[in-house]
Structure formats: structure tokens, C-alpha cells
Structure 1
Amino acid sequence: MNGYQITFFTRQDRLHGGRPLAEWLLHLAAELGLQGATLIPASEGIGHDHRLHSARFFELAEQPQAVMMTLTTEETDDLFQRLRTENVHLFYTRTPVEFGSIGEPGTQG
């Protein structure tokens, strides 16, 4: 299949609807019936404010996070429409990809 790899970049302390934004994105992916989403914590990153954000002991709230999804064009359109409806401000990348599965479910290689 062809579609897009979408990666959203945020921080642990950013909230939407009273919950961490990255967690909210994961729940949104499930709600929309998307094939999956992955939360990737990072140790450091430079934000849009040009400041270094890191996962230091006293600054865990500023830990950079990325949420990655691989979607069809239709799923991408649905997701972005929902984000606009929710008025979510979020930096993202959208990269065209080919994706699929190989092998039988439940087998190990």
C-alpha cells in the first residue's frame, strides 16, 4: 500500500483535553481505527522556541516525544480533519511511504 508516515513532535508536559498530548494522539489513533501508532520518547531535542528540552531528572516534564503513524491517504485526511476540529497546535512531518506486512501473523523469524 501507499500512504504517509506522519510524525508528530511534542513534549511530555503538553496537554490536550486534560491529558498528555502524545497520549491523546495514541487514543485518537485507536478511536479512528488506525492500524497503529508508536510513542517514541527522546532524551533531548530543540523545540520551536529554540531551547534545548531534555529528560533530565528534574525536567522530565520537558522530555521530547514523537508519535509516529503510517496511514493511507484517506486515514491521513481523516486524522488531520480531526486535529483541525480539535484545534490542536502541533508540529509534524508527512513523508510518502510504501507499507505493508510480510509473513504470517503469529510466526517468528
Structure 2
Amino acid sequence: MNGYLVTFYTEINQRHKNTPIHEWLLELTRELGFKGATVIQGSEGIDHTGRLHSAHFFELVDQPVQVQLALSEVESEQLFTHLNQEDVRIFYVKTPVQFGTVGNQKGK
């Protein structure tokens, strides 16, 4: 299937509606019926303003986080329409990809 890999970049302490954005994005993914999302916590990163974020012992609230979703074109449009209606501010990268599943379903 052709679609998009959408990656959101945030920090562990960034919130939307009193919920960490990465958790809010996961819940939104579930509500919209999308079939997959992955949260990746990083040790260090530099944001779009050039500021360093890290997960050092005393700075865990500044830890970088990525949320990745493989979406069809329709799902991508649905997600970004919803995000614009929510008026949430979050940096993202949207890359065209081909995705799918290989192997058989034996044993499931």
C-alpha cells in the first residue's frame, strides 16, 4: 500500500489538553481507527529552533519523543484535518512510503 510515514517530534513534557502530546496522539490514533503508532523516546535531540533537549537524570521532562504512524493518503488527510481543528502545535515530517505486511498468518 502507498501512503505516508508521519513522524511527530515533541518532548515528554509537552502537553495538549493537560495530557502529554505523545499520549494524546496515541489516543487520537485509536479514536480515528488507525492500526498502528509507535512512540520512540530519545536520549538527546535539537529542535527546530536549535535548542538542545536531553534525557539526562535531572532533565527527564525535556526528553525528546517521536510518534510515528504509517498511514494511507485518506488516513493522513483525516489526521491533519483533525489536528487543525484541535489547534495543536507540533512539528512533523510527512514522507511518502510503501508499507504492508509480509509472511503468512499461521498460528494466529
Query: Fold-level match, TM-score > 0.5?
Result: yes
Counterpart for residue 20 of structure 2:
20
Q: Give the corresponding residue for 2:58.
A: 58
1:48 is displaced (CA, Å) by: 2.6
TM-score (norm 2): 0.95
Query: What is the DSSP-based 3-state SS (H/G/I as helix, E as strand, rest coil) of the residue aligned with 1:74?
Result: helix
User: Residue 106 and residue 84 in structure 1: after superposition, are their counterparts in 2 closer, same or farther (change >3 A)?
Assistant: farther
Deviations 1:38-91 (A, max 9, x none): 000000000133111100111000000000000000000000000001101111
Specify every segment of 5 or more residues in structure 2 that has no aligned partner in the other structure, as ranges: none
- Any stretches of 5+ residues in structure 1 without a counterpart? none
Moved over 3 A (4+): none
Instruction: Measure, in 1, the Cα distance between the counterparts of 2:23 and 2:106.
Output: 27
The two structures, once aligned, show a CA RMSD in angstroms of: 1.1
Cα shift readout 1:14-49 (whole Å, capped 9, x = no counterpart): 001111001100111111010110000000000133
Partner of 2:87: 87
Aligned counterparts of 2:106 and 2:95: Cα–Cα separation in 1: 29
Q: Which residue of 2 aligns with 1:32?
A: 32
TM-score, scaled relative to structure 1: 0.94
Q: 2:43: which partner in 1?
A: 43
